[in-house]
């Protein structure tokens, strides 16, 4: 399957600082990437849809000024958690869409980034 | 009512058992169905992708879709300890690309 990478895999920061997480599609171009948040033993919660060259589309209840998304190229999307607070501590996962063998869109996930805000 | 319902488990089975994981859904617009496996502290890994009613087999895994009953299943034959993980069902509408996930079922295969 297609490979999606994330960097960093783990980050610890102080409250009030900003953290940037990178999501890259390694062997394909992705016009659309997604950002999810996952709490322990819970399912994935879609935060936003990131489209190359345009503004991200945020899900209801997700603060766009808090979670800045930039999709600068067909292989890179970044999520910046601004002025992070302990309640932002979570597992952040990105995914990217590519065309499957059957002509359908298949979504592949990155390994996730564990953010801990002290 | 959630759009996708999945029993969270945990489900514990002995090695070699046949495992049945299930999801039900309410939105008849869902056309594509996926099963992901997620190990602890890792991203989900796509296991199976189906888009028509019936069965699809890949090695020890069989995905089953019954659109008339709005019910999908994943069967794992000859389960191994390495199958211990959380299994997430996901689905998407035709023409859409946003996945709707079930809550995930935690599976433990014991020696």
For residue range B41-55, what is the model confidence (pLDDT) as tens digits? 899 999 999 988 899
pLDDT(B86) > 90 = yes
Nearest to A23 by CA among A61, A56, A62: A56
| B48 neighbors B61 (Cβ within 8 angstroms) | yes
User: At A102, is the pLDDT very low, low, confident or very high (cuts 50, 70, 90)?
Assistant: low
Indicate the range of A95-99, B39-43, B53-57, B61-65 predicted with least confidence.
Answer: A95-99
> In the prediction, which pLDDT does A98 show?
78
Q: How many A×B Cβ pairs under 8 Å?
A: 55
Give the integer Cα–Cα distance in Å for B96 and B74: 23
User: B99 in contact with A at a CB cutoff of 8 Å?
Assistant: yes
Average pLDDT over chain B, rounded to an integer: 93
Q: Please give the average per-residue pLDDT across A51-56, as a whole number.
A: 87
pLDDT at A58: 96
Separation between Cα atoms, residue A53 and residue A49, nearest integer Å:
12
**What is the pLDDT at residue B48?**
92
Confidence band, pLDDT 50/70/90 cuts, at residue A103: low
Q: Which of A3-12, A65-74, B89-98, B99-108 has the lowest mean pLDDT?
A: B89-98
| Best to test chain B binding among A38, A44, A59 (most B CBs inside 10 Å) | A44
Structure tokens at B32: 């594509």
pLDDT of B4 above 70:
yes
Please, which residues have CB within 8 angstroms of residue A53's CB and are 6 or more apart in sequence? A71
Q: Are B21 and B108 in contact (CB under 8 A)?
A: no
Question: Using a CB-CB distance cutoff of 8 angstroms, which residues of chain A are in contact with residue B46?
Answer: 1, 106-109
Provide the 10 A C-beta neighbour count for residue A4: 26
If one compares B19 and B40, the residue with the highest pLDDT of the two is B19
Query: A108–B46: do the CB atoms touch at under 8 Å?
Result: yes
Question: How many angstroms separate the Cα of A49 from the Cα of each of A1, A30, A78, B10?
Answer: 21, 12, 12, 31
Q: Is A103 on the interface with B (CB under 8 A)?
A: no
Q: Which residues contact B84 (CB under 8 A, 6 or more apart)?
A: B107, B108, B109
Of the listed ranges A62-76, A88-102, B16-30, the one predicted with least confidence: A88-102
A5: helix, coil or strand?
strand
Instruction: Return d(Cα A65, Cα A81) in angstroms, integer.
Output: 9
Residue A100 has pLDDT above 70, yes or no: no
**DSSP 8-state symbol, B1:** -
Confidence of residue B7 (pLDDT cuts 50, 70, 90): confident
| CA B8/CA B31 separation, integer angstroms | 23
């Amino acid at each position: 399957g297609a490979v999606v990478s994330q960097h960093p895999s783990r980050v610890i920061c102080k409250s009030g600082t900003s953290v940037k997480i990178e999501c890259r599609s390694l062997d394909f171009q992705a016009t659309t990437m997604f950002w999810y948040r996952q709490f322990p033993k819970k399912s994935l919660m879609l935060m936003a849809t990131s489209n190359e060259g345009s503004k991200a589309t945020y899900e209801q209840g997700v603060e766009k000024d808090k979670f800045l998304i930039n999709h600068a190229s067909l292989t890179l999307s970044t999520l910046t958690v601004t002025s992070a607070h302990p309640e932002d501590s979570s597992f952040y996962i990105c995914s990217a869409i590519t065309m499957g063998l059957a002509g359908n869109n298949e979504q592949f996930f990155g390994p996730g980034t564990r953010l801990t805000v002290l | 009512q959630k759009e996708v319902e999945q029993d969270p488990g945990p489900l514990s089975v002995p090695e070699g058992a046949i495992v049945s994981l299930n999801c039900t859904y309410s939105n008849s617009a869902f056309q594509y169905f996926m099963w992901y496996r997620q190990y602890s502290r890792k991203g989900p890994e796509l296991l199976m992708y189906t888009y028509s009613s019936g069965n699809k087999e890949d090695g020890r895994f069989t995905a089953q879709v019954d659109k008339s009953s709005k019910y999908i299943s994943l069967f794992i034959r000859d389960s191994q300890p390495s199958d211990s993980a959380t299994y997430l069902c996901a689905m998407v509408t035709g023409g859409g690309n946003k996945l709707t996930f079930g809550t995930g079922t935690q599976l433990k295969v014991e020696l």
